[in-house]
Amino acid sequence: MKLINKAIIAAAVGVALSNVAILNQAVAAEVKPAMSEKHAKAATKYRQSVFQLVRSNMGPLGGMAKGALPFDESVMQTNAVRLEQLATMMGDYLSVDTREYNVETGAKDAIWENFSDVETKVAALKTAAQGLQAALDAGDKSAYRGAIGKIGASCKSCHDDYKKD
């Protein structure tokens, strides 16, 4: 009986994971132009809001990685989950091309010209956030600093290519 239950659970998990993979492919963002100045301003505001949330979650992690703050596993777990969630949303907010309208933005035009690269970098952020969660789940304190560093490196790679100075 236990073997049958384990087999059923394993099959259900397999189906769920394949559905998630299909859904992730189906909802990949594509670049679309803002439809009006109002839309461009709203899209810019939302995009900047997501990045403010990223910053608010990265700040404590960066402080911990640099040794300025003690490691706090609860904060690391919460912030890693939040960063993963924010990364999941980024494609939608970055995909609205606001270049046609006069909006104040720190985004370089290259974001919309190389959007598949942007999506790759956003996926790296999500993977890095999951890596910190995995280190925490394993209780591997020696991996915390490196896992946080990978999150920071993923942020930096996007900033270097797509954020105005």
The two tokens of residue 77 are: 């777990």
Annotated binding residue at 158? Answer: yes
Helical segments of 66-143, H only: 73-94, 110-113, 115-138
CA distance 9 to 110: 45
Query: Measuring CA to CA, which residue among 98, 112, 115 is closest to residue 42?
Result: 98
Annotated binding residue at 155? Answer: yes
Q: Give yes or no for a contact between 63 and 149, defined as CB atoms under 8 angstroms apart.
A: no
Q: Give the torsion through C-alpha atoms of 47, 45, 31, 129, to 10 deg.
A: 10
Amino acid at residue number 81: V
Annotated binding residue at 31? Answer: no
Report the relative pairing of strands 32-33 and 96-97 from DSSP bridges.
parallel
- Would you list which residues are annotated within the binding site? 155, 158-159
- Would you list which residues are annotated within the binding site for heme c? 155, 158-159
